[in-house]
Every structure is written in C-alpha cells, then in structure tokens.
Structure 1
Amino acid sequence: MKKIGDIATIGFALFAMFFGAGNLLLPPFIGVNVGSHIWITILAFGLTGILLPFLGILSVTQSGETFNDLGNRVNKNLATVLGAVIMICIGPLIALPRTAATTFEVGILPSFPNSNPLWTSLVFFIVVWLFAIVPSKVVDLVGNILTPFLLVILTLLIVAGIAHPTAMPDASALSTAESFALGFTEGYQTLDVLASVIFAGIIIAATKAKGYHSIREKNKVVIASGALAAVCLLFIYGGLIYLGATAGIANTSIKRSELLIHISNSILGKYGTLAIALSIALACLTTAIALAAAVGTFFSALTNGKLSYKLLVTLTCLVSAVLSITGVDNIIQFAYPPLAFVYPIVITLVLYVVFLGRLVSSKSPYIAALISSTIIAVCNVLNILGLLAPHQLAVLNKIPFFSYELGWVVPSFIAFCLVWGIECLRGNTTQS
C-alpha cells in the first residue's frame, strides 16, 4: 500500500510539472488544423508532449541523479553547454514570456478588452520578481489548489465537448503524414522534454526520500508514476485536440488564445470561461515564479556565485517582460527555430541512453549520434528560416523524413551503429 501511495504522489507531481497552463493553447490549435486526422495527431503529440518527457526523467534516473550525470555519459562539458541552452529556452527566451502573454490574452483580455499588455506584463513580472526573490509558501499553497481546480474544470470541458460536440471534424488539407509531423513538432512547444532532464533531480530526490535508493527501485517507481502522469496528460491533450477539431472553426490561422476562449464559451458559457481564465492566469503566475527561481539558481551555480541569484532573477524578469508583450502566437512563432535545433539533440541523448545505455558503455557512439542530429537540426533550422537554395533543399529532402522535420532520426541511428560497430571490431581485433 505504501508503494501505491508513493506512486500516486510522485505521479501527480509529474503531472503538475509537465502540465503547464501555456500548453493548453497548443492542442486545440492542432485539432483545428488536422481536422479528421485526430487519432494519428494525438499519437504524434503524445510522443513529444508525454512519452519523451517521461523518458527524459528515466534517462537521468538510469545515469545518476541530475542532468549533469546524464551529460557526463557523453562528455563532461555537454551538461554545462546543453543545460545552459535548455535553461534559456525554458526561462527568459520562451516559456517565461509565454506565461505572461497567456495570462494577458486568456485571463485579462476577455474581461478587459481595452487593457494594455505592457502594464499587465509589468505587474505580472513585478509579482514574479517579488516571490522569486523571497520564496514563499504562498506559491506552493496556491499551486496545490490551482492544479486540481484547473484539472476539474478541464475535465468538465472535455467531457461536455465530447458528449455534445459543436461540429463534426472537417476533412483536413493536410495528409496523414503531415498531420503526424505537425503533432510531433508542435509537441516541441510544450518544452517538456527540455524541462524533464533538468527537473528530473526533483523527482529522483522525492523518490529517494520515500526510501527507494537502488536504480531498480527508482526505475520501478518512476515508470509506474510516469504511467499515471501519462494517462492524465493523454486525456487532457487528446481531449483538447478533439475539441479543436470539433470547434467548427474554418479559419486555421485563428489565434490560439481566441480559439481556447471560443471553445470554453461554446461549451461552458461565460462562467466556465471565467473560471478557466482565472485558474490559467494564476497557474501561469506560479509557473513563472518557479521558472525564474530555477534560472537564477542554475546560472548562479554555473558562475560559482559571480553572478548573484537576485541579479539573475531580475535580468530574467526584465527580458521576459519585454518579450511577453509581443503576444502568444508571436512567441510561439519566434520559438520554433531554436526549439527545432535543440529538441532533436535532447531527444537523441534521451532515447539512446534509455534504450542502449546498458548495452553500450563507450561514449563515442553517443557523440557520433549527437553530432549527426546536430548537423541535421542546423540544416532544418536553415530550411525553416528560408536560407537554403532549392538545389540544397533537394539534396536534403533525400534524407528520410527530412521533409517532415524528422530528418535527424535515421542519420543519428546510422552514426551510432557505425561507430559502435567499428569499436566492436577493434575490440575483437585487439583480443585476437
């Protein structure tokens, strides 16, 4: 019974970590674009939004107790460089500005249509700064109340939407493969794979605190807890994709925040929309406080205290406030190239450590796989930015899945196997 209780506690903690309020804006928008290709898209989004974050935590668990242990499986400098890139992404570059922009567009704008995002952002980040500078239990209390409340409201929204859909899904202009690719790459915007390898230490510490110290015990608890969190996330994400597909919206360029408000208004009415707006706004605030504190702690430790925690939190809030004014859709659009670069690298590291970590102890195959993923990721970013000539793009499109922005998959696997095979042959030759 104790283990079941521990699994439930850690499982819901995992859910709370991965379930960011900003993520609510992504699935309905995907649903509008994929139309009748609902199930294949739910599968694709689930891979990058649910399964891979869980594997991210598992990869750290199998390597040690922190992201540094995972990075050291490949190179001692990898954890520092990649960790810094990840913290910038989940901090002032993308996730933090998005919390403020989401608060304004979903929590403030529907009730106060003439409000200015500048003042909302200013007030938002002043509050974030005050709580991050002086940690308070109020944040934990509000977060512990808000997460269940938001989950209950969303469950009502999804169940009511499934029982009484506004419209039937239309045929999509996208093919099945294109819908899968959209769901997979839009999952990057959750930032959960990046967050998982950084915040894995929290889950591992919680597991150890409950008496599970061996790798086998930790893995058992993490896997069971991850399965519980995955079921909850799959229900929420899948339900929201379905609501988007059945929203009766023909304009696929609709703003993500407007779409969520339209869906909640259609299903729950204005009071339901107000409840969602309030809970999302407050949830965004608590998430932002946690992220600002995490960024300050990480870079202060990285610089051995040369840059103080308070200075780093202040700079993080200032940069985030400026970027948040541009709006949710602009932040998501701006975020896509950097995420298209860093995500394949992190996914490659996670997948190969989880599935081949016990079989292959040498660092060279992992380095080869990461280099291959990095090269393809750079090429993909150049393509996204429109910097490739037609003949260059024609060559790159010969790489399997490159046109679906998954071109790193096959080259990384070939590079891993090739270097591993060479090392095995050298070992056999030496033994002979």
Structure 2
Amino acid sequence: MDIKRKELLITSFALFSLFFGAGNLLLPPLLGYNSGADWLWVTVGFMITAVVIPIFGILAHAKLQGTLYDFGKKVSPIFSLVYCILIYSIAVAIPSPRTAAATHEIAIFPVFGTSPLLTSTIYFSLVLVFVLNRSKILNLLGKFLTPFIVIILLAVIGVGLSSSTFTTGHLQVETPILTGILEGYQTFDAIGAVVVGAVIIVSLNFNNMKVSAFASKRKLIRQSGFIAGTGLFIIYAGLMAVGAYYSSEIDINTALSSDMQRANLLRGISIASLGEFGNTVLSILISLACFTTAIGIIAGAADYFRGLFNKSQLAYVVTAVLASGLGVLVGQLDFNAIVVVAIPVLLFIYPITIVLILLNVLPDKLATPLIFRAVVITTFVFSIPDVIGFISPSEGLTILTEFIPFSGQSLGWVLPAFLVVVIASIFQLKKSN
C-alpha cells in the first residue's frame, strides 16, 4: 500500500510535537549561550543523544510494531515488565510535570501572576480531556498544533539570526562534545522515543488513515521518524546558534537559578527578534510545545497499562487520571528543581534505554537474547558508579572510576558495553560453528 503525502505529514508532525517539549525548547539556547564560539561542537554532541538515538528508537518501533514491552523481552519477560513500569513511572513523574512547570514560569506567571497549583491543575485537566479522547490525538497534533509550533520556532530562529551581530561570548564548558551529549540526556528524547513511538503505533490503529499492513506501517513510521528527526535537528541547531550569537547582547544574570537563566535568555531572544510581541509569541510557543508532549507521555503510559490489563478501557482511564494528578502535584515545583531531581534517574535509566534502542535496530541474527542480556547487565553495572558519584561522591569511588574510560564524564558504560557486544558476538559465532 502506498503512503499518501497527507498521512506522512500528519504522522511526522504529530511525532515531532510529541518529542518537542519543555526541555527541548529551554535547554538548547542556554547551552549555545555557554558554548561561545564552540557552539557547533556542543551541537554535535547534543544531536547524538537528542536526535540520532531517538530516531533509532523510532526505527526500532517501526521494526517491532508492538509496545515498549517488546524492547526488553529478549533480556527476559520480568526485566521487560520492570523496565516498562520504571520508564512510564519516570515519564509521568518527571518530564510530564516539567512541561507544566515550564509553562507556568515562562508563559503564565509573568502575565497573570497566578499560583503554580492553579496553573498545573488547569493544565493537566486539559491534558486529561485530550488523552481520554484517544482517537483524535494523531490528527489534532499533526494537522493543527504542530504546524503552528514549527512556524513560530522558525520565525524566532530566522529573524533572530538575520538580525544577529554573530558575535559569541566566552566558552564556559570544558569538553564541548561530551557536554552536548550529557545535556541531550535532559531532553528525555531517548525515553521519549520509546514512549511516543508506541503512541504513534496505537494511534495508527485508532485513526481513519487505513494504514494497516505491517510493511506499510513500518514504512510510514520510518519516514515519519526521519522527517521528525530532521525537524528536531534544524530547531535544536537554530536555537543553539541564536543562543550563542546573542550571548554578547543579552544578560541572563548568572546569579539567578538555571531555570530563570533559560527563561530570561529565551525571552530576550524572542523580544530581540520579534519585538515586544515576542513575549506573547514565546508564551504561546511554550504552552503548545509543552502541552503536546504531556499528552503524548500520559497517553503512552495509559496505553501500556491498558494492554497490561487485557485491553481494559478502565485501566486506561485510571492511569490517565492518576498520571494527571501526579502532574498537578509535581508540576508545582520550579523547572530547575525537576531538572536536578532528574539527573541521577537519567544516569541510571538512560544508558539502558540507549542500548535497548540500538540492539533492537540491529538485525535479529546479530541481536540475539545472549547479546541483549550481556549488554544490558554490563550497562547496568557500569552505570552504578555514575549514579553514586552524583548522589554521594567519595574518594574511594573516584579511585575506582579512574580505571574506567569516560567515567569522569558519566559515560563509563559506553566502552564496556561495546566490548561485550564484540566478545558475545565472537562467542556466539564460535558456538554456532
């Protein structure tokens, strides 16, 4: 079955909007601002974890066309169940409430001065309404909200760059590429890929586009993933460039918290590029970008538990209500507090998610259950020092991590995981011969 252009664009736009949330908008400008003349190298690192890995995640979904459970089932059914529950719990407890916090701090409070409780309550009430109307999500996001978001983003970036003096500030990061890689964690895009990819698959089954054949859905999801990834690449690079080139013109007040610095910089860029109207534009942009991501996260969690309880609609509704209620509670925290809480969680779950994505993209002959188990266990073990080192650094731990390459950059799991893939592949090949 041929994929129509309309179907492709709707799915691509929907996928983009499900990815693009609070962190995606707030993190890149400040990262570019602090990178100075090396902003391009930081962008390269950022793209690895915020664009390339997520695209692989969508490709893995196109191949599997199941649920998140299928990503880890080759390790073991129990592992996959625990992993799914962890991922969805993290998603509804951190990135989803973070969208409400960002909306309040940048779009709502400066205009209305209301409390974060009121904002998060109204915000997640609206999210719940859209999530409960499950069949309309794909068309709503693809036809209406995302094109508007993209137009506003391109306007801010295009006008901003055209009026910039192209003068950067001083470099404030020691290792540009590695800094970009770790900052890419904060977008939650790899976790987003495994969560929202499942949302897209379920939505294709709900909507009226009649894309039902396995091969047709695989083609549609793959092409949509590449288009959405290209869009993310352009937007991220543009936001980093604008942040870097306005670093000599905008004072973000380094005495403020990181979240206020991000907000001040983004507000300054919007005003510099679009005048005083930029404040209004920024408020609308933040609200829409965050809102669509929250819908995707909660719908994804509700979809999973619906399937876990034998396609029970009650399980879907209960999960959506509980996730929205949790969003109201956590969404009252400020954006930076949520980011800080997220770091140790990400250092633990992100490496495992990355290796599961990459292994699921590989042909089945190469990614056998043996390799899955060996790589995931190795990744888990070598991620532990990163988590402990962030929570409670000690001299003994420092001595230990000195022997692990890249451990100082919280990437101590990378080389061991790669070596285990090679060794397990050789062992498996000899065994088969």
TM-score class, shorter: 0.7 to 0.9
Question: CA offset at residue 155 of structure 1?
Answer: 0.6
The more displaced of 257-266 and 291-300 is: 291-300
Match of 1:225 in 2: 224
Q: Structure 1 residues 15 and 138 mapped into 2: Cα distance closer, same or farther (>3 Å)?
A: closer
Contact 2:389-2:397 within 8 A present in 1 as well? no
Question: CA offset at residue 130 of structure 1?
Answer: 4.3
Match of 1:334 in 2: 341
Match of 1:273 in 2: 279
The more displaced of 11-20 and 138-147 is: 138-147
Match of 1:46 in 2: 47
Question: CA offset at residue 421 of structure 1?
Answer: 2.3
Q: Which amino acid aligns with 1:230?
A: G
Q: Which amino acid aligns with 1:326?
A: L
Match of 1:185 in 2: 182
Question: CA offset at residue 257 of structure 1?
Answer: 2.1
Q: Kindly indicate whether residue 248 of structure 2 is the aligned counterpart of residue 243 of structure 1.
A: no
| Separation of aligned partners in 1, 2:332 and 2:21 | 20
Q: Structure 1 residues 172 and 192 mapped into 2: Cα distance closer, same or farther (>3 Å)?
A: same
| Separation of aligned partners in 1, 2:305 and 2:37 | 45
Deviations 1:279-301 (A, max 9, x none): 42144334334433332342344
Deviations 1:199-236 (A, max 9, x none): 3345456499436533xx66555444333222211110
| Separation of aligned partners in 2, 1:345 and 1:109 | 37
Q: Structure 1 residues 268 and 54 mapped into 2: Cα distance closer, same or farther (>3 Å)?
A: same
Q: Which amino acid aligns with 1:400?
A: P
Q: Which amino acid aligns with 2:124?
A: F
| Separation of aligned partners in 2, 1:142 and 1:51 | 23
Question: CA offset at residue 179 of structure 1?
Answer: 1.8
Match of 1:287 in 2: 293
Contact 2:360-2:367 within 8 A present in 1 as well? no
| Separation of aligned partners in 2, 1:73 and 1:341 | 20
Question: CA offset at residue 193 of structure 1?
Answer: 1.3
Match of 1:391 in 2: 396
| Separation of aligned partners in 1, 2:263 and 2:135 | 30
Q: Secondary structure of 2:263's match?
A: helix
What are the equivalent positions in structure 2 for 1:29-428 lying under 5 Å apart?
A: 29-91=30-92, 93-112=93-112, 114-133=113-132, 137=136, 141=140, 144-165=143-164, 168-175=167-174, 178-204=175-201, 206=204, 209-210=210-211, 213-214=214-215, 220-248=219-247, 249=251, 251=253, 253=258, 254-303=260-309, 308-355=315-362, 357-385=363-391, 387-428=392-433
Contact 2:20-2:290 within 8 A present in 1 as well? no
Question: CA offset at residue 133 of structure 1?
Answer: 4.5
Question: CA offset at residue 7 of structure 1?
Answer: 4.1
Scaled by the length of structure 2, the TM-score of the pair is 0.87
| Separation of aligned partners in 1, 2:324 and 2:333 | 15
Q: Secondary structure of 2:264's match?
A: helix
- The gaps in structure 2 that reach 5 residues or longer are none
The more displaced of 161-170 and 256-265 is: 161-170
Contact 2:60-2:360 within 8 A present in 1 as well? yes
Deviations 1:92-119 (A, max 9, x none): x11221111111112112223x332222
Contact 1:166-1:266 within 8 A present in 2 as well? no
Question: CA offset at residue 243 of structure 1?
Answer: 1.4
| Separation of aligned partners in 1, 2:307 and 2:226 | 33
Q: Which amino acid aligns with 2:420?
A: A
The more displaced of 58-67 and 246-255 is: 246-255
| Separation of aligned partners in 1, 2:38 and 2:190 | 24
Q: Which amino acid aligns with 2:163?
A: H
Question: CA offset at residue 378 of structure 1?
Answer: 1.7
| Separation of aligned partners in 2, 1:369 and 1:29 | 34
| Separation of aligned partners in 2, 1:65 and 1:142 | 22
Scaled by the length of structure 1, the TM-score of the pair is 0.87
The more displaced of 27-36 and 251-260 is: 251-260
| Separation of aligned partners in 2, 1:78 and 1:406 | 23
Contact 1:365-1:420 within 8 A present in 2 as well? yes
Match of 1:15 in 2: 16
Q: Secondary structure of 2:152's match?
A: helix
Q: Structure 1 residues 138 and 213 mapped into 2: Cα distance closer, same or farther (>3 Å)?
A: closer
| Separation of aligned partners in 2, 1:265 and 1:181 | 31
Q: Structure 1 residues 422 and 45 mapped into 2: Cα distance closer, same or farther (>3 Å)?
A: same
Contact 1:121-1:325 within 8 A present in 2 as well? yes
Contact 2:45-2:178 within 8 A present in 1 as well? yes
Q: CA RMSD in A?
A: 2.9
Q: Which amino acid aligns with 1:102?
A: A
| Separation of aligned partners in 1, 2:185 and 2:149 | 23
Report sequence identity in percent. 32
Q: Secondary structure of 1:372's match?
A: helix
| Separation of aligned partners in 1, 2:91 and 2:416 | 27
Deviations 1:96-148 (A, max 9, x none): 21111111112112223x33222222222333344445658599547742321
Question: CA offset at residue 410 of structure 1?
Answer: 0.6
Q: Structure 1 residues 199 and 125 mapped into 2: Cα distance closer, same or farther (>3 Å)?
A: closer
Question: CA offset at residue 250 of structure 1?
Answer: 6.4
Q: How many residues align?
A: 420
Q: Secondary structure of 1:77's match?
A: helix
Q: Structure 1 residues 232 and 213 mapped into 2: Cα distance closer, same or farther (>3 Å)?
A: same
Q: Which amino acid aligns with 2:79?
A: L
Question: CA offset at residue 54 of structure 1?
Answer: 1.0
Question: CA offset at residue 374 of structure 1?
Answer: 0.8
